[in-house]
């Protein structure tokens, strides 16, 4: 069948999608989610089909195409294209197998990842894969195969250096912006530490969101390599690099579902580390009932899996289990967290002590992994001497940013102080509500929105004293966040 092209000026964000009029679809006995081959000038693309009965959207005799198809086949409005029926990707059957609890083979996993990378699966089909791995957790062998498949279908940063240091936190704890302190300390000590980070999935800020307050985080891999070889460190967004691109597509599906399948979490982290040629990797697993990892037993199981995968990939992996009972640092949200980090690096008395202690502890672990003794003292000396701040300023400049005073960072213009209703001490802080209120206020999409904590666990507090302050860039979001804070038990004072 030949049809005329209609550019419907819509993007799917990845999958190749076309829309047919119901009458044309009936002629070929085609249905929603079937596959079509579109041929133009000798080039063929297989697309996911949608069907409409609305002739205003796509009239009979035409085929509506999303921007990804337009760009791939270099189509123009009213071009004539050849349409034929195509079979669905093989990986759909493999995903069904996983939904039924079966183990996947190397061939099946590699096919699924290939189809993800090449946009052969619709967002619904990809969501089923995420759900299948969430419900029927992959074995260690499957997870290792998934990790290797993710790396195979992406770019690799080859620095040809040793050691190459890296760190990662499982997340789930508000704040906890350790990377922006650890990277300049390790780099100032003379070691390579290329850090790729994700944007927020369910938190008020990811490392990339916070670093973006200070500098550009979106680079091609060639530029990333140039930055690392020049400064020994970087803090960039992994989503722009084509490092394990299947992982970024999986994360995009996980975000609205607000889930992290364990096997995909393991593969995601280790694939990204493998892709930047890391040799020594420190994994931080914060635990608490409202964190991503709820208890020590879960953490120990994850620790064991990380060690097994690291060994198979010939990487030195160390896993630490840390306290996730409360936010780390004072600022929650990109700009507020960036301000915390700069205060800490500049040795400002307003810097959060808990963030500093955790960063120094993690630096000590990293130094020990590469054979350096007295790592805590070494990290503290680098921090106190100003070398860490100088290195951070160098990295910021290399990433296209400018050195900025912490107090010049723009914070949301609308603010509201939540006060203690009685005297006592802070016995409990609800991490989930801290994150929720910060996100409702506008974080991370509004960089200046979020929460600033004035009190932490164990702190004494008097009636009328500030517990936390909400900041927002939007009047509407500010009012909503304020209402939620007033009607939620975020702090318990006894």
Task: Please write the tens of the pLDDT for every residue from 331-372.
Answer: 999 999 999 999 999 999 999 999 999 999 999 999 999 999
Could you tell me if 311 and 324 lie in one domain? yes
> Does position 143 have pLDDT exceeding 80, yes or no?
yes
259 lies in a domain? no
256 lies in a domain? no
| Phi, psi (rounded to 5 degrees) for 274 | -60, -40
DSSP label of 122: -
Return the percent helix, strand and coil in the chain, to nearest 5: 45, 20, 35
Could you tell me if 233 and 350 lie in one domain? yes
Could you tell me if 210 and 354 lie in one domain? yes
Could you tell me if 366 and 459 lie in one domain? no
Instruction: Give the chain's mean pLDDT.
Output: 94
Could you tell me if 285 and 384 lie in one domain? yes
pLDDT of residue 471: 98
In angstroms, rounded to a whole number, what is the distance separating the alpha carbons of residues 256 and 174? 19
Could you tell me if 369 and 489 lie in one domain? no
Could you tell me if 418 and 381 lie in one domain? no
Active site residues: 260
pLDDT of residue 313: 92
Q: What percent of the chain lies above the pLDDT cut of 70?
A: 100
| DSSP notation for 347-377 | T-TTS-HHHHHHHHHHHHHHHHHTT-SSHHH
Give yes or no for a contact between 462 and 474, defined as CB atoms under 8 angstroms apart: no
Q: Per the omega criterion (within 30 degrees of 0), is the bond before 13 cis?
A: no
Within 8 A by CB and 6+ apart from 427, the residues are 457, 492, 493, 494
Could you tell me if 180 and 31 lie in one domain? no
> Does position 210 have pLDDT exceeding 80, yes or no?
yes
* Number of domains comprising the chain: 4
Task: Please write the tens of the pLDDT for every residue from 416-456.
Answer: 999 999 999 999 999 999 999 999 999 999 999 999 999 99
Average pLDDT over residues 377-381: 98
Q: What is the CATH number of the domain that holds 462?
A: 3.90.1170.30
Domain boundary among 365, 398, 431: 398
Could you tell me if 366 and 283 lie in one domain? yes
> Does position 162 have pLDDT exceeding 80, yes or no?
yes
DSSP label of 337: H
Domain boundary among 99, 119, 136: 136
pLDDT of residue 258: 67
Q: What is the CATH number of the domain that holds 392?
A: 3.40.1030.10
Higher pLDDT, 111 or 258: 111
Entry pTM: 0.87
383 lies in a domain? yes
367 lies in a domain? yes
66 lies in a domain? yes
Lowest mean per-residue pLDDT among 257-261, 433-437, 490-494: 257-261
Alpha-carbon dihedral angle through residues 206, 212, 216, 222, given to the nearest 10 degrees: -10
Lowest mean per-residue pLDDT among 47-56, 228-237, 286-295, 469-478: 286-295
In angstroms, rounded to a whole number, what is the distance separating the alpha carbons of residues 376 and 379? 5
Q: Per the omega criterion (within 30 degrees of 0), is the bond before 409 cis?
A: no
Range of the domain at 29: 2-86
253 lies in a domain? no
Could you tell me if 345 and 443 lie in one domain? no
In angstroms, rounded to a whole number, what is the distance separating the alpha carbons of residues 229 and 217? 16
**Mode of pairing for the β-strands spanning 491-493 and 331-332:** unpaired
Could you tell me if 372 and 307 lie in one domain? yes
68 lies in a domain? yes
Domain boundary among 398, 432, 463: 398
Could you tell me if 312 and 381 lie in one domain? yes
243 lies in a domain? no
Give yes or no for a contact between 232 and 192, defined as CB atoms under 8 angstroms apart: yes
CA distances from 102 to 50, 89, 126 (A): 30, 19, 17
CA distances from 129 to 35, 133, 134 (A): 18, 6, 8
């Amino acid at each position: 069948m030949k049809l005329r092209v209609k550019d419907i000026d819509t993007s799917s964000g990845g999958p190749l999608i076309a829309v047919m009029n119901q009458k044309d679809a009936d002629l070929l006995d085609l249905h929603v989610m079937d596959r079509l081959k579109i041929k133009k000038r000798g080039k063929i693309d297989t697309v996911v089909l949608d069907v409409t009965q609305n002739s205003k959207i796509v009239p009979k005799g035409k085929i509506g195409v999303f921007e990804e198809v337009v760009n791939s086949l270099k189509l123009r409005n009213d071009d004539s294209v050849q349409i034929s029926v195509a079979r669905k990707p093989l990986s759909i059957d493999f995903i069904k197998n996983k939904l039924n609890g079966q183990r996947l083979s190397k061939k099946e996993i590699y096919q699924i990842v290939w189809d993800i990378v090449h946009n052969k699966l619709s967002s619904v089909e990809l969501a089923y894969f995420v759900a299948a791995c969430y419900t029927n957790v992959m074995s260690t062998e499957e997870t290792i195969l998934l990790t290797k498949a993710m790396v195979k279908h992406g770019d690799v940063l080859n620095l040809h250096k040793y050691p190459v240091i890296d760190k990662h936190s499982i997340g789930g704890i508000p704040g906890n912006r350790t990377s922006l302190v650890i990277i300049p300390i390790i780099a100032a000590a003379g070691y390579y530490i290329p850090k790729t980070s994700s944007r927020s999935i369910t938190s008020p800020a990811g490392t990339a969101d916070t670093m973006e307050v200070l500098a550009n985080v979106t680079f091609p891999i060639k530029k990333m390599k140039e930055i690392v070889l020049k400064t020994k460190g970087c803090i960039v967004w992994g989503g722009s690099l084509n490092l394990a691109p299947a992982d970024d597509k999986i994360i995009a599906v996980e975000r609205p579902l607000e889930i992290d399948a364990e096997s995909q979490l393991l593969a995601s982290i280790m694939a990204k580390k493998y892709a930047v040629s890391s040799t020594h990797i420190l994994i931080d697993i914060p635990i608490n009932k409202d964190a991503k990892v709820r208890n020590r037993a879960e953490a120990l199981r994850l620790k064991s899996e990380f060690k097994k995968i690291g060994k198979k990939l010939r990487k030195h992996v160390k896993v630490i289990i840390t306290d996730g009972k409360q936010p780390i640092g004072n600022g929650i949200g990109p700009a507020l967290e960036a301000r915390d980090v700069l205060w800490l690096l500049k040795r400002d008395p307003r810097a959060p002590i808990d963030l500093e202690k955790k960063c120094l502890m993690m630096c000590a672990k990293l130094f020990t992994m590469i054979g350096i003794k007295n790592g805590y003292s070494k990290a503290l000396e680098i921090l106190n001497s100003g070398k860490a701040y100088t290195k951070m300023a160098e990295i910021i400049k290399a990433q296209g940013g400018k050195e900025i005073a912490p107090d010049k960072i723009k914070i949301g213009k609308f603010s509201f102080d939540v006060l203690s209703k009685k005297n006592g001490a802070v016995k409990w802080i609800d991490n989930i509500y801290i994150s929720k209120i910060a996100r409702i206020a506008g974080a991370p999409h509004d960089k200046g929105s979020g929460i600033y904590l004035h009190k932490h666990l164990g702190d004494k507090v008097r009636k009328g004293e500030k517990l936390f302050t909400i900041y927002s860039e939007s009047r509407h979001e500010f009012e909503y966040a304020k209402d939620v804070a007033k009607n939620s038990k975020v702090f318990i004072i006894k």
